Structure 1
Amino acid sequence: MGDTTVRTLEGREEAAAHPVTEETGPGRLRRLRVPRRPRLWFEILLIAVSYWTYSLVRNAVPEQRAEALRNADWIWRLEQQLGLAFEESVNHAANSVTWLIVGMNYYYATLHFVVTLGVLVWLYRGHPGRYGAARLVLFTTTGIALVGYYLYPLAPPRLMNGQSFVDTVLVHQTWGSMASGDLKNMSNQYAAMPSMHIGWSVWSGLTVFALAGVPWARVLGVVYPVVTLVVIVATANHFWLDAAGGVLCLAFGYGVALLWYGRRPHTLPRRVPERGEGEPERLPVPKQG
């Protein structure tokens, strides 16, 4: 009888310990890869800390002026060989229309942040099940861009020697750009490759195009990154090859999200259960004695 009691107690102990084994093994990893409802306080803190870190690291990269100018000359020669060196013509044409170029300066300085944050808020409120995966794409894209800034310093067209590019912020004295005027000493001037204006705008555009329920919003999702490309070229802040670099970083970000979640962000469930919903009921452990 004593032996039976011991075996019964051991069986209970093993049953109680089994969930702990799952929490620390493959089961825990699987649960981490399942979309879950985002928490507002955590997301605000995460975005604030991430952007502060991004700015700190980006601006901490040594401003290697000589190398950055050499790289810019190489990019410009490559584009000329390809017959696609159109940045200077676009820059001069836009600069000849004051209201247009002033509007582009403000576009460059503001929408980069406003639209990206707006899409994140929209995802958080309307597509919580897809928010985490989409955020992973954005953060991974930005992280790999920081590596690019460190490994490949590149001067923007407006800072090139021997060329006639117009620094439109400086000429028209518009506010807001960290790349020109009085604020230029607060930002790394030679972190042009890849362009995160393009990386973030294409991420925003693809997200809206894939998930928006109304046609006009989907059209805006396509138009926004195209207009952004025109703006970064017209203001002489980037070569079009910088934009290509931004798209490559974004592709890497989508690849990471696909490997982690096993699906593209927009194909994940729109909503996730509230905490506790859909979990198997746990049977109480009988009291001993």
Structure 2
Amino acid sequence: MGETHVTTHEGRSATSPSPIVIEAASAPRRDHPALARLRSLRSPRRPRLWFEILLIAVSYWLYSLVRNAVPEQQAAALANADWIWSTEKALGLAFEETVNHAVNSVTWLIVSMNYYYATLHFVVTIGVLVWLFRRHPGRYAATRLVLFSTTAVALLGYYLYPLAPPRLMNGGHFIDTVLLHETWGSMASGDFKNMSNQYAAMPSMHIGWSLWCGLTIFALASAPWARILGLLYPTLTLVVIVATANHFWLDAVGGMVCLAFGYALSRAWYGSLPHRLPKWVPTGRGRLTGVRTTRLPRPGPGADALAPGTGPKTATEPAGATTAARRP
């Protein structure tokens, strides 16, 4: 009788007189409870709706409270605005005033941008969070961490670098489009100006949040038109924040830097960028949420027998330590 060479899961070669497939089992690894808990926290899990709603509500309340509690420091904010404007002129990229006046000459366009500035910043961001929650639960926590850490580091920027928006510059020729057209396109203009810190222009979270939305949609959406819209959204947002004189373009760069920090923190915690994590997460019954398991066909007559205790595997089972038999 010919010998069967078997390769075990450790990679060692052995000789077996029986022409069967051998499945090696390894002892389960036990970690210290603290390490096991840490691994659990860093593993993707299905989000809970009530917790996410509460977390978002409390987080935004704290963000608004801290942002508006930062001393406005008007003199420093105006001085910083003058420095930003001078720097952009030195670079030959001080185009905000031109865009502001050009778009303002088209009434329907600038009014639309005022409302865009006031609404889509929240509507699209919440919409992307809901979409992630429903369609990509395994990636939700990591992507949400990007958004939250981006916003948190922005608060540090508001405190350390107060900055007046272009429409509030001394001696500037920018048009406050909200005041002129009597719309409610900004919480920092008109009747709402006392409700928000007007000198928190750097970094721009309109860019930070819109770019987070755009990159998330581009990375995870399957429809080409959705991916294109994902890239267009932060681009149009940049035009809006400049046209309405609410931000310098360098404020947008600050928002991008904050977002880069958010992605770096999420990758460090989860070990991967959000879009590379599993789309679905295990449920309590050992199945993957939203994944349909397909049983593979049974082997036909004449196929090698399986070892006792091994049955046909399903398409979603992880690859085990099963070894293959090879006859000479």
TM-score under structure 1 length normalisation:
0.88
The answer to whether residue 195 in structure 2 is matched with residue 186 in structure 1 is yes
Secondary structure at the counterpart of residue 52 of structure 1 = helix
Q: CA contact under 8 A between 2:207 and 2:238: conserved in structure 1?
A: yes
* Residue number in structure 2 paired with 1:75: 84
What's the CA shift for 1:26?
A: 1.4
* Residue number in structure 2 paired with 1:59: 68
Secondary structure at the counterpart of residue 162 of structure 1 = coil
Note the 1:15-94 alignment, pairs <5 A.
Answer: 22-23=32-33, 25-94=34-103
Q: What percentage of residue pairs aligned between the two structures are identical?
A: 75
Note the 1:189-228 alignment, pairs <5 A.
Answer: 189-228=198-237
1:119 maps to which of 124, 128, 137? 128
Q: Deviations over 1:56-85 (max 9, x none)?
A: 000000110000000000000000000000
What's the CA shift for 1:275?
A: 2.6
What's the CA shift for 1:29?
A: 0.7
The answer to whether residue 270 in structure 2 is matched with residue 261 in structure 1 is yes
Note the 1:96-115 alignment, pairs <5 A.
Answer: 96-115=105-124
* Residue number in structure 1 paired with 2:152: 143
Q: What stretches of structure 1 move > 3 A for 4+ residues in a row?
A: none
1: distance between equivalents of 2:268 and 2:286?
26
Secondary structure at the counterpart of residue 32 of structure 2 = helix
2: distance between equivalents of 1:278 and 1:128?
14
Which residue identity is paired with 1:98? T
2: distance between equivalents of 1:79 and 1:99?
29
2:176 maps to which of 167, 180, 187? 167
* Residue number in structure 2 paired with 1:249: 258
Which residue identity is paired with 2:32? E
Q: CA contact under 8 A between 2:116 and 2:185: conserved in structure 1?
A: no
Which residue identity is paired with 2:102? A
2: distance between equivalents of 1:132 and 1:255?
14
* Residue number in structure 2 paired with 1:287: none
Which residue identity is paired with 1:256? L
2:137 maps to which of 117, 128, 150? 128
**Quick check: which has more Rg, 1 or 2?**
2
2: distance between equivalents of 1:181 and 1:263?
44
Which residue identity is paired with 1:26? L
The answer to whether residue 279 in structure 2 is matched with residue 270 in structure 1 is yes
Q: Deviations over 1:236-260 (max 9, x none)?
A: 0000000000000000000000000
Which residue identity is paired with 2:184? W
> CA, structure 1 residues 176+80, in 2 after alignment: closer, same or farther (shift >3 Å)?
closer
What's the CA shift for 1:163?
A: 1.0
What's the CA shift for 1:176?
A: 4.5
Which residue identity is paired with 2:106? V
Q: CA contact under 8 A between 2:167 and 2:246: conserved in structure 1?
A: yes
1: distance between equivalents of 2:286 and 2:189?
52
Secondary structure at the counterpart of residue 236 of structure 1 = coil
Of Structure 1 and Structure 2, the greater helix share is in: 1
Secondary structure at the counterpart of residue 153 of structure 1 = coil
* Residue number in structure 2 paired with 1:239: 248
> Which runs of no fewer than 5 residues in structure 1 stay unpaired?
1-17, 280-289
What's the CA shift for 1:22?
A: 3.2
1: distance between equivalents of 2:185 and 2:173?
23
2: distance between equivalents of 1:277 and 1:116?
32
